[in-house]
């Protein structure tokens, strides 16, 4: 199955926040021993700051859909965790578990990157080895040349960062 990629608008913020609850739940396993990823008193994770993705030039939010059903999202910006120049960064990417492992997420990621040729970065949480394997495959498929993998340990990021020029 393929996933449709639809540009999200400010009116989609509630849907994106709902999907972020699932995303944060998945990520919370990597935050054991820290306050990050704790549920609030109402049983929800903290909302994600989506506003810049609807307002800032070069930033965008995307919905992934399986038919009419929401199946994930992507957030793209120009923040480079490496400290080096990058035209675009895959800030967040999520596919619901039902649609993982079938190639649909990889195809969606590759399409989003191909639509924005130039320098890209993808920062991956150090403990998220499954995501690192996924993004290595995506980067290799999208890169016009070699993929550089940096090990970044800074106050802003701690983990691998893949850098490449998208064709």
Token representation of residue 90: 């895959």
Tell me the CATH number at 95.
3.40.630.30
Q: Which domain holds residue 109?
A: 4-166
Q: pTM for this one?
A: 0.96
Residues 6+ positions from 131 with CB-CB distance below 8 Å: 124, 125
Closest CA to 160 of 27, 91, 140, 151: 151
Give the DSSP letter of residue 146: P
pLDDT in tens, 80-112: 999 999 999 999 999 999 999 999 999 999 999
Contact 165, 121 (CB under 8 A): no
pLDDT in tens, 11-46: 999 999 999 999 999 999 998 888 889 999 999 999
Token representation of residue 20: 């972020």
Tell me how many domains the chain contains. Answer: 1
pLDDT in tens, 116-147: 999 999 999 999 999 999 999 999 999 999 99
């Amino acid at each position: 199955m393929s996933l449709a990629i639809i540009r999200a608008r400010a009116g989609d913020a509630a849907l994106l926040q709902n999907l972020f609850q699932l995303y944060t739940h998945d990520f919370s396993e990597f935050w054991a021993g820290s306050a990050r990823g704790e549920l609030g008193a109402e049983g929800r994770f903290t909302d994600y700051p989506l506003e810049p993705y609807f307002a800032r030039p070069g930033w965008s939010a995307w919905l992934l859909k399986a038919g009419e059903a929401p199946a994930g999202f992507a957030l793209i910006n120009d923040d480079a965790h490496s400290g080096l120049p990058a035209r675009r960064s895959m800030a967040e990417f999520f596919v619901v578990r039902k649609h993982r492992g079938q190639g649909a997420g990889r195809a969606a990621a590759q399409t989003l990157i191909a639509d924005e040729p130039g320098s890209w970065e993808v920062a991956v949480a150090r403990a998220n080895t499954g995501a690192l394997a996924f993004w290595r495959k995506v980067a290799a498929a999208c890169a016009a040349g070699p993929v550089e993998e940096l090990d970044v340990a800074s106050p802003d990021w701690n983990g691998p960062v893949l850098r490449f020029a998208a064709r």
